[in-house]
Amino acid sequence: MQEKEMMNDVLTGLKSSIANYGRVISECDDENLRRTIQQIRNDCEQYQWQMAKLAEQKNYYQPAEKATDQQVQTVRSQVSPGGAGGINIRTHM
C-alpha cells in the first residue's frame, strides 16, 4: 500500500471516528463521561487537522477553496444558537 493510500485511509477513519464521537456525546447522560469523550473527540479532530495538512503538503490532498469572510458570517448566523438555523433551547423546553 502506498503512503498516499495509507494517509487517505487514516483520514477517512478519523472522520468516521469524529462523527461517531459526536453521536455518543449527544446521547451521553453522564457529565464526566461526556466531557471525557468530548476531549477525545477534540484530540481526534486536532490529529485529523494535522494529517490533512501533511497530506496537503505532500500534494495528496487538495482542499476546497477558502471561504470568504461573508460566507463564514452567513454560516455562523445560520447555525449559531438562537440564529435563523440554530436551536434556541429556551424556546424548545
Q: Where are the domains of the chain?
A: 1-62, 65-93
Cα dihedral 26, 16, 54, 6, rounded to 10, equals 160
Could you tell me the pLDDT band of residue 93, with boundaries at 50, 70 and 90?
Answer: very low
pLDDT tens per residue, range 46-79 = 999 999 999 999 999 888 899 999 999 999 888 8
What percentage of the chain carries pLDDT values higher than 90?
Answer: 72
Q: What letter would DSSP give residue 90?
A: G
In degrees rounded to 5, what are phi and psi of residue 24?
-65, -45
Which ranges of the chain would DSSP assign to H, the alpha helix?
Answer: 3-27, 31-57, 69-79
Please give the DSSP secondary-structure letter assigned to residue 92: G
**Nearest by Cα to 56 from 8, 1, 2:** 8
